[in-house]
Amino acid sequence: MKKFSLWCDFIENTFLDHDFLNLLSLGVNGATSNPAIFKNAILTSPIYKNKIAALKDSKAKEIYEELAIYDIKKAADKLAPLFYQKNDGFISIEIDPRLYDNTALSLGEAKRLYTAIAKENVMIKIPATKASYEVMYELMKNGINVNATLIFSQEQNKQCFEALNQGLIEFRKSQAHLKGNLNTPKAVISIFVSRFDRLLNPKTKKQNRIGILNANLAYNYIVSQNEPNIRALFASTGVKGDDLPKDYYIKELLFENSVNTAPLDAIKAFDWKYDFKKPLNDAEIKTQLDQIIAEDELKQSYDILLQEGLEQFCIAFEEILKTLSDF
């Protein structure tokens, strides 16, 4: 059976009680968060002020986690019916982005957050850095759902899949003696899309295609591994400006059994009347990419975009903590 999943790339406390439920009724079946999303919610929504005031004697990161965990738990409860119907129903929370180069601290924080939230349908979001592949492996091995994030290069994509899959294999081995249906951990590999086009459009012969082609290539690899518990997720699918339809990156990446996590304006523009896209094969993708941009230019963009993504999330996190400290 063909399936396409659309997740909401936004959460906020009051939103979860009203607009989010409307999105679920339309067909949205998951949600994601990141430090930038929490920054916008916590620092702009009045709903958090009383909670922050009540926690004023706590450290800034403790306050942040209290607020974030409360919202993640609420989102998990709203999504639980979908999860138990095996229709996704996942919500992601990212570990402290400043830990991206520290394996031990990342793993410790990931396990601590998962235990504190205590919801089966939570995914722990881990950035795809050299220090983090072991974290992904250990979490899957221990039955914890993972959202591998900030994937730009095909090398990152393959490293993520290998780490997640090896953890999944070890989990299944450890549970082989148990009878009945296992609650086998699930993972998504979040391939970022529109950031390529915003960076490279000025240097390309064809606009707004590189991110799609790069994501298609990553999707092909994941699907070829034939592990249904690890899926491709297309992230960074919002458009900037008025030159493209808001749902452009949703419709262009409507691939079978994929996930698209999109901002609110993209979801609202999507009419749910769609046909699945047929992915291009690897040779077709390479031909098109060669016609659009030099290979060296594309490879250089991988490192640039990863560093920008890590820095943006770290800055957003620091801004949250500073504001909470000054509250």
* Sequential DSSP letters for 232-251: EEEE-----SSSS-TTHHHH
Residues 146/134, Cβ–Cβ less than 8 Å: no
Angle at 271 between CA 266 and CA 272, to 5 degrees: 105
The percentage of residues in the chain with a pLDDT greater than 90, rounded to a whole number, is: 86
Task: Give the pLDDT confidence of 140-186 residue by residue, as tens digits.
Answer: 999 999 999 999 999 999 999 999 999 999 999 998 877 666 689 99
From 39, 78, 119, 125, the catalytic residue: 125
Query: At 240, is the pLDDT very low, low, confident or very high (cuts 50, 70, 90)?
Result: confident
Query: The CATH number of the domain where 165 resides is what?
Result: 3.20.20.70
- Residue type for position 280: L
Which residue carries 């699945």 as its tokens?
A: 276
pLDDT at 180: 61
Q: In the annotation, is 125 catalytic?
A: yes
208: phi then psi, degrees, rounded to nearest 5:
60, 40
* pTM higher than the cut 0.75: yes
For residue 248, count other CB atoms closer than 10 A to its CB. Answer: 20
Query: At 242, is the pLDDT very low, low, confident or very high (cuts 50, 70, 90)?
Result: confident
Locate the DSSP E strands across the chain: 4-8, 30-31, 90-94, 122-127, 145-151, 187-192, 230-235, 258-262
**Collapsed DSSP state (helix, strand, coil) of residue 202:** helix
For residue 128, count other CB atoms closer than 10 A to its CB. Answer: 26
Number of domains in the chain: 1
**Collapsed DSSP state (helix, strand, coil) of residue 227:** coil
Which residues form the domain of 195?
A: 4-326
DSSP single-letter state for residue 180: S
